[in-house]
Structure 1
Amino acid sequence: MNKKSKVGFQSVLNIIFRGLLVFVLSLQYALAAAPEASAAIPAYVIGPGDVLNINVWKEEGLQQEVLIRPDGGMSFPLAGDIKAGGKSVEQLQKLLSSKIKRYIPDPVVTVSVRQIQNNKIFVVGKVNRSGEYIGSAYIDVMQALAMAGGLNAYASSNNIRILRRVNGKVKSILFEYSEVASGAELHQNIILKSGDVVVVP
């Protein structure tokens, strides 16, 4: 192998090595970030308008589709009238089991959300399609802005506010679009809660 061939071969090896190094580092970062990302996602909270599928194993008469009333309540055979709003799916399963086990030993209750109607968010201001949006269980700010058609040309992108009602008081949360889009302030891209209002000045 002549000198020129050796140099060319070494260059190819260097490129391959660098590519493998980037891949390994990216994989390590993804694996390290995965538990943190999953831990940040809260459990879905059942609310008015949601439609649930509720099944008690091996009990044909206890398999129903249930609509959550505006007051957050629902009715189910052997359990009576119970408060489902504000509970997670797991919490509701446990509550139903505790009620039904008075009549059926060791009931296996399964609850699933068939239709989400409770997760309403609002995007107002200088976006292309302001209004009310019903989304899946987890919608972050960037996704909400995309649903609203994005910012218009007059939007103050780094002064967006999320208004959230907590214990009767309104909390204002800053969202800087350009900073999040560049990857600098990703923690601002929070998961929105039902009733949140995204205000784009």
Structure 2
Amino acid sequence: MLRSLSRTLLCLAAAAVVVTAPAAAQETAVVQNDAGYRINGGDLLHISVYGEQNLDKDVPVQPDGGIAFPLVGNLNARGMTLKELQGKIADNLRESQYFPNLTDNEVTVSMVKATGNSVSVVGQVKAPGTFAYDTQLDVMQALSLAGGLTPFASKSKIKILRRDQAGTQTAILFDYSDVEDGEQLEKNILLRGGDVIVVPQAGLF
């Protein structure tokens, strides 16, 4: 009886591993494979150079977006995709005297732990605020998270405020009616971490 009970407990433990392990792996893979994810302060990256054991490290992203990597020095990774950072590191290594013929594909940048991105929605929405997301988020989805537009919103003059790596801010015009009617769906762009959606009141601006 005792032996039978032990065997049953072992089977249950094995089943638990089978069920939970793929879920954790899948969650990690979503972040690592998401081309739209923008690096944030607090993220933990893994950076490696093919065939170089000394250049295979977990690299924390500082709150201001800075990272440090051997032979590369300090870089501001905040707002970059993993692919963009891969190219930047490869460029810097090529500029050194050690890896003049290095290709981008010989550098690997992956996400070990992501803090997630966030966007803010302000103005004439029912529930303005800042919303975190792990994978991808488009404009319509963000507006939905904010409760949708109020009756006083100017649908044709919504703006997405975005800063580039240099800190320069640009405004992207978004016409809610066009996308809502199924037209110009290309305007329903994927947002980047730090974007601010401004929904003005009709009759203003």
TM-score under structure 1 length normalisation: 0.57
Residues 165/58 of structure 1: CA separation in 2 closer, same or farther (3 Å cut): closer
Residues 114/149 of structure 1: CA separation in 2 closer, same or farther (3 Å cut): farther
2: CA distance between counterparts of 1:51 and 1:120? 17
Q: 1:160 aligns with which of 151, 158, 161?
A: 158
Structure 2 residue aligned with 1:113: 111
* Cα deviation code 1:36-79 (max 9, x no counterpart): xxxxxx86554533321223456666543322123432223x43
Structure 2 residue aligned with 1:184: 183
Q: 1:82 aligns with which of 68, 74, 79?
A: 74
Does residue 1:69 correspond to 2:69, yes or no?
A: no
Deviation at residue 96 of structure 1 after TM alignment: 6.9
User: Which sits farther off after the overlay, 55-64 or 120-129?
Assistant: 55-64
Structure 2 residue aligned with 1:132: 130
2: CA distance between counterparts of 1:168 and 1:125? 23
1:31-110 map, 5 Å: 46-57=39-50, 62-76=55-69, 78-79=70-71, 81-85=73-77, 87=80, 88-95=84-91, 98=94, 102=98, 108-110=106-108
Task: State the percentage of identical aligned residues.
Answer: 39
Does the 8 A contact of 2:72 with 2:89 survive in 1?
Answer: no
Residues 154/116 of structure 1: CA separation in 2 closer, same or farther (3 Å cut): farther
Amino acid at match of 1:188: K
Residues 111/73 of structure 1: CA separation in 2 closer, same or farther (3 Å cut): same
2: CA distance between counterparts of 1:80 and 1:171? 30
Q: How many aligned residue pairs are there?
A: 158
Structure 1 residue aligned with 2:20: none
Query: What RMSD in Å do the two structures reach over aligned CA positions?
Result: 3.7
Residues 68/168 of structure 1: CA separation in 2 closer, same or farther (3 Å cut): closer
Does the 8 A contact of 2:138 with 2:191 survive in 1?
Answer: yes
Does residue 1:149 correspond to 2:147, yes or no?
A: yes
Does the 8 A contact of 1:162 with 1:198 survive in 2?
Answer: yes
Q: 1:187 is paired with a residue of what secondary structure?
A: helix
Q: 1:70 is paired with a residue of what secondary structure?
A: coil
Amino acid at match of 2:44: V
| Higher Rg of the two aligned structures | 1
1: CA distance between counterparts of 2:198 and 2:87? 33
Question: Which consecutive unaligned segments of at least 5 residues does structure 2 have?
Answer: 1-34, 201-205
TM-score under structure 2 length normalisation: 0.56
Deviation at residue 171 of structure 1 after TM alignment: 3.5
Residues 112/59 of structure 1: CA separation in 2 closer, same or farther (3 Å cut): same
2: CA distance between counterparts of 1:199 and 1:83? 31
Residues 80/44 of structure 1: CA separation in 2 closer, same or farther (3 Å cut): same
Deviation at residue 123 of structure 1 after TM alignment: 0.7
